[in-house]
Structure 1
Amino acid sequence: MSELATQHCEACSADAPKLNDDEIRQMQADVPEWEVKVVDGEKRLSRVFKFKNFAGALAFTQKVGDLAEEANHHPALLTEYGKVTVDWWTHKIGGLHRNDFIMAAKTDKAYEG
């Protein structure tokens, strides 16, 4: 388990620096199942979580939503039969911040638990 999962998000302002490619690679080592993708010119962390049915996917979506509310940091969530796609990025800066990796690790922990 990544120790990122025990950390807390920091308040982020619009002028906070985005992580550069080297920083992203270093942090991605702690959440290796997440991929970096670009959507509308912004880098995001993305992962698809698998479930046996819609009920399991929906329950996981609620867990991630609860984590997001607690941290005041919100992902894009797509809930489908048997899977949930989660994308984390920092809207205020239009890219990736340390907070996104913390939340990815917390999401992984919620999936395992």
Structure 2
Amino acid sequence: MLTELALEHCRPLRGSEHALDPAQALALLTDLPGWQIAEAGLLQKEFTFASYAATLLFVNTVAGLAERENHHPDLEVGYGRVKISYSTHDVAGLSRNDFICAAKIEALARI
């Protein structure tokens, strides 16, 4: 399922009818190792790196992916770590787009 999600593309979503219910979100989460749904309802994962340069390379790659998909995460960057958080503001919760982007990032991190 990770590969299938990673091959999808985000589409514009507006309105709460596009928000995933908890069961749908949990079903998609099972295919994203290390990702979790935080108490605030955010899809999150922290990645670690051996150097600041590697961290910034990853951040810039994620930023490029976000621009291509027109779906942007919140990024918390520190030395050797990046915390990625997704939610879809236009649906007031998690959408399939969040999981598509997480799958793309997960595939990228495995390279």
Give the TM-score, by structure 1 length: 0.91
Q: How is 1:39-78 mapped onto 2 (pairs within 5 angstroms)?
A: 39=40, 43-78=41-76
Quote the Cα distance in structure 2 between the aligned partners of 1:32 and 1:111: 11
Runs of 4+ in 1 over 3 A off after TM superposition: none
Q: CA deviation digits over 1:55-80, x for unaligned, max 9?
A: 11111000000000000000001111
- 1:31: Cα distance to partner? 0.8
* Consecutive unaligned residues in structure 2, runs of 5 or more: none
The reply on whether 1:13 has 2:39 as its aligned counterpart is no
Quote the Cα distance in structure 1 between the aligned partners of 2:77 and 2:89: 21
Higher relative helix content: 2
Higher relative strand content: 1
- 1:44: Cα distance to partner? 1.0
| 2:33 alignment partner AA | P
Percent of residue pairs identical: 36
What is the count of residue pairs matched by the alignment?
Answer: 110
* Consecutive unaligned residues in structure 1, runs of 5 or more: none
More displaced stretch, 1-10 vs 89-98? 1-10
Give the TM-score, by structure 2 length: 0.92
